[in-house]
Amino acid sequence: MDTSKEYIKMCEKAEEIQKSWFPTLGDYGASKRSKIVHLLSWDSDVDFSLIKTDEFLKEKLLFIPCQDQLHLLSKLSWQEFDWKCANEYPLAITKEQAGIQVVMSQFNKEWKKNKWLDKTTP
C-alpha cells in the first residue's frame, strides 16, 4: 500500500474519486491535517463512537484507495487494468500511482506538476 506524500497528494487532488467515496471498514484514509494514513477499523485510532455519518469521515479524511479499489473504480478487467498501469504509466513508482492515473484518465485528466489537468486544455 502506497502511503507516500506523492500518492496522498494525488488522492487529495482527485476530486472525482474523493466525491464518490462511501467510507467502509477496511478503507485507508489520510488525515486532512496531518496526512497520516489510517486503516478504518474498529481497532483504529478513529473513534467510531463519534462518527454519525459518512460525511463526518469525509470531512476529516482523504480516501487513499488501494490497488483493488482502483481496479474497481476503473471498471476494467484485471488484465486491462494491469496492462494500462504497466504500459501507459511505466514511470509510476507504485501500482497505486499508476492505477489512480488509469482511473483519472477516464475523467480525461492527467497528473502534471502536482495536480490533475484536463487533457483537452492546452
Q: What is the pLDDT of residue 23?
A: 86
Q: What is the pLDDT of residue 59?
A: 83
Distance of alpha carbon 17 from alpha carbon 103, whole angstroms: 9
Give the CA angle between residues 51, 60, 116 to the nearest 5°: 140
Please list the ranges in the chain whose pLDDT falls under 50. 50, 52
Distance of alpha carbon 62 from alpha carbon 6, whole angstroms: 14
Q: What is the pLDDT of residue 77?
A: 98
Phi/psi of residue 13, nearest 5 degrees = -85, -10
3-state secondary structure of 19: helix
Answering whether pTM is above 0.85, one says: yes
Distance of alpha carbon 39 from alpha carbon 48, whole angstroms: 12
76-85 per-position pLDDT tens digit: 999 999 999 9
